[in-house]
Amino acid sequence: MTLETSPLDGKRLLLIIGGGIAAYKCLDLIRRLKEKGMSVRTILTRSGAEFVTPLSISGLSGEKVYTDLFSLTDEVEMGHIRLSREADLVLVAPATADMMAKMAAGLADNLATTALLATDKPVMIAPSMNSRMWEHAATRRNLQQLKEDGVHIIPPGSGELACGEEGTGRLAEVDDMIGAIEFFFKPSGPHEEPLAGKHILITAGPTYEAIDPVRYMANRSSGKQGYAIARALADLGAKVTLVSGPTNLAAPAGLQMIPVESAAEMLAACQNALPADVAICVAAVADWRVSNCAGQKIKKQDGALPALQLTENPDILKILSTDKVNRPELVIGFAAETENIAANAQAKLKRKGCDWIVANDVSTKDGPSVMGGDYNKVILFRGKDREDWALGHKDEIAKNLAQKIAEFYA
Ligand code: C5P
């Protein structure tokens, strides 16, 4: 694996941690940013301190944590003006509805809001709140105002929220926050963007096949690996179209995302996105769909089981690989296997007509779980050529694959 320098190496972040249950994610964020060579100075708001402690933050950041505008020690050591300017980027995470309202109104009633008003550096926010609060007209208004003020937004994800409700409002995952920060600091220039001018189509996530208006069947897939690949390719300058089934992940910055539900929708979106130079099918597409999908919710009837009729879904990878008019120059498939990984992957490569296949071992016997987890163990097959990669973070696997694609074009 090639070890490249992160665009975050030597950069300075001022992280403002607001008061939300998701504040705990910031601890991992700090750790990961430090690993990438970024220095992280933190302002912890009073409500943020209800969720994480200054001690745990400074333990990870290796820096003093600033909390109080009126603390003389803080002001003597480091005035709030200096604090707000001795950074390359200011990130507010989690950005609560209250914090967004204060920022939009330009209030400066504590150290965090004062620093935000005093800074001359770019500001990014990662909102996190209950979905009703996120959708409230006041929050929409504040979000619009912040966008107009040039604040960069890391959109919240959707799914189950800490309050037990479902909806949009979850703080973006750490990977997505890092992706957004890296995208922000991404060096520009043709020599650093080996995939500039290339259009890359990626499928990710599961597909949902409706049984009736409230039920569906699907494969397990978090979408993490596909999103990471999309981010890594965008980082190398590619124009990326990400066709994604339903996931809890926020749309990565700097690429076009087309959300879909079913395999049929995924195929249509892929075909619409052609021509593309490269297609990478990472999605865990459901093999079947229900051909007699009910128009109304199927009622339970004294133990009688509904007779679902299944029909085979289109094989998107195979269709793209065998497209007579618009076949991308390089088509890459994924093969999740639990046994005979190499043999099954080789057979799949032939059957589907793709050029490369990335086989991943989804059995959990050695190491952390791949499904939904952050790590992956893969073998890359390029025709007969086989490369076994060490267990790595999905981001690392993504970067390596993006690098291989860049080498293909080099
Ligand atoms: O046949 P299997 O599902 O194991 O093949 C996996 C590969 O095929 C993955 O790249 C997946 O994205 C792709 N695939 C597809 N459309 C399907 C089934 C799988 O694109 N209907």
Q: What is the DSSP string of 335-357?
A: EEESSSHHHHHHHHHHHHT-SEE
Can you give the pLDDT at residue 366? 55
> What global pTM score does this model have?
0.62
Residue 270 appears among annotated catalytic residues: no
Strand partners, 334: 358
Nearest protein CA to atom 4 of ligand 1, as residue: 335
Cis peptide before 246 (omega within 30 of 0): no
Please give the distance, rounded to the nearest whole angstrom, from the Cα atom of residue 321 to the centre of ligand 1.
12
User: For the chain, which ranges sit under pLDDT 50?
Assistant: 1-2, 72, 189-191
Confidence at residue 374, expressed as pLDDT on a 0 to 100 scale = 81
- In the chain, what are the domains? 12-184 (3.40.50.1950), 199-292+307-409 (3.40.50.10300)
Tokens of 234: 């965008």
Strand 239-244, strand 256-259: pairing: parallel
The number of the ligand 1 atom at minimal distance from the alpha carbon of 313 is 21
pLDDT at residue 190, rounded to an integer:
43
Exactly one of 163, 270, 293, 354 is catalytic; which is it?
163
**What is the pLDDT, as a whole number, of residue 72?**
45
Please give the number of the atom of ligand 1 that sits closest to the Cα of 263: 21
Give, in degrees to the nearest 5, the angle at Cα 58 between 57 and 60: 70
Say whether the peptide bond before residue 122 is cis (omega within 30 degrees of 0): no
pLDDT recorded at residue 69: 62
Name the residue with the closest Cα to ligand 1, atom 6.
Answer: 335
CA 334–ligand 1 middle distance (angstroms): 7
DSSP 284-312: B--SEEETT--SSPPPPBTTBPP---EEE
- Contact between residue 209 and residue 284 where contact means Cβ atoms under 8 Å apart: no
- Give the H or E element holding residue 232: helix 224-235
User: Residue 393's closest CA among 373, 377, 374, 380?
Assistant: 374
